[in-house]
C-alpha cells in the first residue's frame, strides 16, 4: 500500500490515547459505555455501515432471552440520560428490534466516538513487531484501519478491546475442521447458503417446495428447522432433512419445561414434536466427506457409523458454528488455548468436551488478559470455537476490563453473573451435568455434540413465535 495513505498519530501522550474497541455490536458498545463511565476515552471502529451490522444479517430471528437480560447496565445508564424509551423487560426481541430499540440509540448516545465503515486490518505496536520486548509495555498499540474509499490509516491506542465477533467466519462442513471436497464450489453456485437465511421472508423462494438439508446440532439449526416447518405448512412440497455428526438429537431439545427461559424451553419441545411426527427427517452419525453438484441438485457424500451414503437435496443450510478470525492479531503476543482458540485461561473453562453443559464461572480481566499488555478479546470472539457464549457474560467481561484499565483492580476482580438455568443438560458424552447450563442470549451453532441450550451466536427461533439467544 502506498506509504502516503497511512497517517499515524505520533504526538499524543500514552494516557491521552483512546481505548480502541473493535466492533459496534452489543459487547463493543457496552465496552464503550463502561469506559466512558470510568472517565476513559473510547473509540469504537465498526466495519459495517451501522451499529449491529452483523446482527442485521440475522435480524429476522428472535432471541429466546427477554430484554431484561440483553441490556448492559452502563449502557442503560447512558441511554436513560436521553429520550430513549426502555423496551418491556419481558419482551423477546428480534435481531432487528435489538438494533432499532437498543444498539442504534446507544450508538447515537455515544456520539462521534463510534466510527462506521472502518475495518480493522491489523493490530500491532507502534514501530515494533512482536519480536521486540524492550519498552513494549510503554509503546502504544497500533490499529490499522481501511475505509470504503480505499484509504488506510494507522490509529494509536493505549489499549485495544477486540469485540469483533465471529459471524464472518463460519465453520466448514467437512470433517477434520476443513472444507469437504466440493464444498467451496457448492457455496459458489448457491447450493450451500449462508447461515440463518430468512426462510419465511426475503429468502422464501429459495426453499419453498424444495428438499432442504440443515446441518448442525445447535440453536441455529433448531431455529432454521422450525422456520422450514412453518414454510412447509404453506408450501407442502417442501421437504426437510436434518443431519448431525452425533448419534442422538435429543441433546438439542434441552430442558424443555424445566428451562427457566420459557421460550428457550419451547424451542426444544417444538423441535422434538416435529421430529417425532416425521415432518423433519433426521440423519444421525452423518459425517460429510464431499459434495457433488449436478444441475440444480446437490449430492452430499457422508460416512455414517456403519457405511458410506449419499443424500441428494436441492439446497443445504449450514448451522455448524463459527470460529475466530485471528489473522489481524498476528503481530501481537497472544496466549491462546490450542483447542478452543480462546484466551488460554478461559479455554479450559469453556471446552465443550469437558464442560458440556456450558456452566462457566463468571470471569473478567485477569482471565482475559494476554502477554500483550493492554489487549483483550471479549464477547463471542473470546470464546473462540466454543459454542456457549452468552451476551450477559460479555457485559460482565467488559465491565471488569474497563475497571482494570481505570486502575480499579478490586472492582475488576469482583465478577458476578446471575443467569437463568436450562433445567437439564444432556450430552453425547454420556450422563447429565451436575450443574445446569446457564444460557442467555447469543448464537450457538455447533456440531460438537455438547449441550447447546446456551448458544454462542444469536441462538435462534422463528420470529413468529420466539426464541434465540
Helix axes 391-405, 26-37, angle to 10 degrees: 30
> Is 72 within 8 Å of 30 (Cβ atoms)?
yes
Backbone angles phi, psi at 44, to 5 degrees: -100, 125
Which residue is it, cell 476443513?
Answer: 178
**Which of 138, 147, 129, 130 is closest to 6 using CA atoms?**
147
Any idea where the domains of the chain sit in the sequence?
3-168+323-413, 175-318
**Which of 31, 10, 13 is closest to 22 using CA atoms?**
31
62 vs 370, residue with greater confidence: 370
DSSP assignments along 401-433, one per residue: HHHHHTT-HHHHH---------S--B-TTSSB-
Give tens-digit pLDDT for 43-58. 999 999 999 999 999 9
Superfamily of domain 3-168+323-413: FAD/NAD(P)-binding domain (3.50.50.60)
CATH number for the domain whose boundaries are 175-318: 3.50.50.60
256 vs 85, residue with greater confidence: 85
**283 in helix, strand or coil?**
strand
Alpha-helix residue ranges (DSSP H) falling in 38-189:
53-56, 73-79, 95-98, 104-110, 183-188
Give tens-digit pLDDT for 68-114. 989 999 999 999 999 999 999 999 999 999 999 999 999 999 999 99
Mean pLDDT, rounded, of the chain: 85
How far from 222 is each of 134, 137, 193, 417, CA to CA, in Å?
51, 46, 16, 27
Give tens-digit pLDDT for 124-166. 999 999 999 999 999 999 999 999 999 999 999 999 999 999 9
Q: Give the per-residue pLDDT at 253.
A: 77
Q: Give the per-residue pLDDT at 327.
A: 97
How far from 243 is each of 167, 169, 284, 293, 383, CA to CA, in Å?
22, 21, 6, 19, 25
Cα separation of 410 and 400, whole Å? 9
- The two beta strands, 287-294 and 280-283, are unpaired
Question: Is residue 292 left, alpha or beta, with left meaning phi > 0 and alpha meaning psi from -120 to 50?
Answer: beta
Q: Is the pLDDT of residue 4 over 70?
A: no
Which range is least confidently modeled, 92-96, 287-291, 315-319, 452-456? 452-456
Cα separation of 139 and 254, whole Å? 48
Q: Is the pLDDT of residue 2 over 60?
A: no
> Is 6 within 8 Å of 146 (Cβ atoms)?
no
Cα separation of 66 and 47, whole Å? 28
173 vs 264, residue with greater confidence: 173
Which pTM was predicted? 0.87
Question: Is residue 353 left, alpha or beta, with left meaning phi > 0 and alpha meaning psi from -120 to 50?
Answer: alpha
Same fold, 3-168+323-413 and 175-318: yes
Q: What is the mean pLDDT of residues 395-415?
A: 97
> Is 212 within 8 Å of 219 (Cβ atoms)?
no
Backbone angles phi, psi at 391, to 5 degrees: -60, -45
Give tens-digit pLDDT for 180-226. 999 999 999 999 999 999 999 999 999 999 999 999 998 889 999 99
Q: Is the pLDDT of residue 423 over 80?
A: no
DSSP state of 210: S
Task: Report percent pLDDT > 90 for the chain.
Answer: 71
Which range is least confidently modeled, 158-162, 230-234, 301-305? 301-305
Amino acid at each position: 500500500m502506498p506509504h502516503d495513505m497511512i497517517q499515524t498519530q505520533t504526538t499524543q501522550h500514552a494516557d491521552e490515547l483512546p481505548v480502541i474497541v473493535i466492533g459496534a455490536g452489543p459487547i463493543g458498545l457496552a465496552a464503550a459505555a463502561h469506559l466512558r463511565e470510568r472517565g476513559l476515552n473510547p473509540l469504537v471502529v465498526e466495519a459495517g455501515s451501522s451499529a449491529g451490522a452483523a446482527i442485521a444479517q440475522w435480524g429476522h430471528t428472535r432471541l429466546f432471552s427477554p430484554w431484561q437480560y440483553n441490556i448492559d447496565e452502563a449502557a442503560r445508564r447512558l441511554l436513560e440520560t436521553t429520550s430513549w424509551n426502555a423496551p418491556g423487560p419481558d419482551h423477546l426481541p428480534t435481531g432487528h428490534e435489538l438494533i432499532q430499540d437498543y444498539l442504534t440509540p446507544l450508538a447515537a448516545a455515544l456520539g462521534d466516538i463510534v466510527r462506521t465503515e472502518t475495518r480493522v486490518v491489523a493490530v500491532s505496536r507502534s514501530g515494533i513487531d512482536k519480536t521486540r520486548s524492550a519498552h513494549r509495555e510503554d509503546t502504544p498499540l497500533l490499529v490499522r484501519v481501511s475505509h470504503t474509499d480505499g484509504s488506510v490509516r494507522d490509529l494509536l491506542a493505549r489499549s485495544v478491546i477486540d469485540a469483533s465477533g465471529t459471524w464472518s467466519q463460519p465453520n466448514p462442513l467437512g470433517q477434520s475442521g476443513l472444507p469437504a471436497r466440493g464444498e467451496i464450489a457448492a457455496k459458489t453456485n448457491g447450493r450451500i447458503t449462508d447461515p440463518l437465511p430468512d426462510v419465511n421472508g426475503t429468502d422464501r423462494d429459495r426453499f419453498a417446495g424444495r428438499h432442504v438439508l440443515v446441518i448442525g446440532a445447535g440453536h441455529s439449526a433448531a431455529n432454521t428447522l422450525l422456520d422450514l416447518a412453518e414454510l412447509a405448512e404453506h408450501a407442502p412440497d417442501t421437504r426437510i432433512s436434518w443431519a448431525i455428526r452425533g448419534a442422538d438429537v435429543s441433546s438439542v431439545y434441552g430442558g424443555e419445561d424445566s428451562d427457566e427461559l420459557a421460550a428457550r424451553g419451547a424451542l426444544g419441545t417444538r423441535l422434538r414434536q416435529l421430529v417425532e411426527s416425521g415432518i423433519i427427517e433426521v440423519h444421525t452419525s452423518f459425517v460429510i466427506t464431499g459434495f457433488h453438484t449436478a444441475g440444480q441438485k446437490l449430492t452430499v457424500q457422508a460416512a455414517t457409523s456403519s457405511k458410506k451414503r449419499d443424500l441428494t437435496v436441492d439446497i443445504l443450510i449450514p448451522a455448524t458454528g463459527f470460529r475466530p478470525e485471528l489473522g489481524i492479531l498476528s503481530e501481537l503476543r497472544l496466549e491462546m488455548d490450542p483447542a478452543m482458540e480462546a484466551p488460554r485461561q478461559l479455554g479450559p473453562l469453556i471446552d465443550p468436551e469437558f464442560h458440556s453443559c456450558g456452566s462457566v464461572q463468571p470471569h473478567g480481566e485477569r482471565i482475559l488478559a494476554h502477554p500483550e499488555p493492554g489487549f483483550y478479546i471479549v464477547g463471542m470472539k473470546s470464546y473462540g470455537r466454543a459454542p456457549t457464549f452468552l451476551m450477559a457474560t460479555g457485559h460482565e467481561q467488559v465491565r471488569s476490563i474497563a475497571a482494570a484499565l481505570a486502575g480499579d483492580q478490586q472492582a475488576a476482580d469482583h465478577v458476578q453473573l446471575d443467569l437463568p438455568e436450562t433445567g437439564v443438560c444432556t450430552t453425547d458424552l454420556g450422563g447429565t451435568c451436575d450443574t445446569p447450563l446457564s444460557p442467555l442470549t447469543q448464537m450457538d451453532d455447533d456440531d460438537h455434540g455438547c449441550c447447546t441450550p446456551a448458544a454462542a451466536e444469536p441462538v435462534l427461533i422463528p420470529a413468529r413465535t420466539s426464541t434465540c439467544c
